[in-house]
């Protein structure tokens, strides 16, 4: 378990987290930022995913995000697609509970996950892909020290149109220089 200013990261629990995840995967406000259609995943598929995530592998580690003030499960985050030679991994996050978006909870979770990536997993680079129209997400990543590295044109298709995505990353040296440290 890891604790920041606003959130705590705990290991996923397939039983405890299932209904929240299922609800979030049926919420267009969540799925649009992920480039998915709402309802694409069944309750059973989400349960299987959570069970796999709870067992963590060398290529995928997932946490549930809880608000410190009340212990509410508000989202999830993961380090995945580990490249053990290059010491890099992809970061992904979702804040499923709407009332917690845009209030620093996502930024705090990203900062914690970056800290875990560099200090626990000895990574050199943490990267992510974000919908170029997801201004709140981009702002949270930049506050956590990520920089824009490139643009993936027509990366995904949602709601009847293509969207571009940004590749963003933070390097270990940037983190050490204080760019991504937890405040």
The yes-or-no answer on residue 157 being catalytic is no
Q: Are 146 and 102 in contact (CB under 8 A)?
A: no
CA angle 177, 129, 27 (to 5 degrees): 120
Catalytic residue among 22, 100, 105, 141: 141
**What are the phi and psi torsion angles at 36 (to 5°)?**
-125, 160
Alpha carbon separation from 78 to 103, 105, 153, 158 (Å, rounded)? 20, 15, 24, 23
DSSP state of 130: E
Please identify every residue annotated as catalytic. 141
């Amino acid at each position: 378990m890891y604790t920041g200013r606003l959130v705590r990261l705990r290991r996923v629990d397939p039983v405890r987290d299932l209904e929240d995840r299922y609800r979030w995967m049926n919420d267009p406000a969540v799925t649009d930022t992920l480039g998915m259609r709402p309802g694409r995943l069944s309750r059973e598929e989400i349960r299987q995913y959570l069970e796999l995530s709870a067992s963590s592998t060398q290529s995928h580690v997932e946490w549930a995000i809880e608000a410190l003030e009340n212990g509410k499960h508000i989202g999830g985050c993961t380090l995945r697609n580990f490249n053990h030679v290059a010491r890099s991994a992809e970061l992904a996050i979702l804040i499923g509970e709407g009332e917690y978006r845009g209030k620093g909870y996502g930024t705090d979770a990203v900062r914690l996950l970056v800290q875990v990536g560099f200090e626990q997993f000895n990574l050199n680079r943490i990267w992510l892909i974000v919908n170029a129209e997801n201004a709140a997400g981009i702002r949270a990543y930049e506050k956590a020290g990520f920089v824009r590295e490139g643009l993936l044109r027509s990366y995904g298709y949602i709601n009847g149109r293509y969207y571009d995505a940004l590749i963003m990353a933070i390097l270990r040296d940037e983190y050490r220089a204080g760019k991504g440290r937890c405040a």
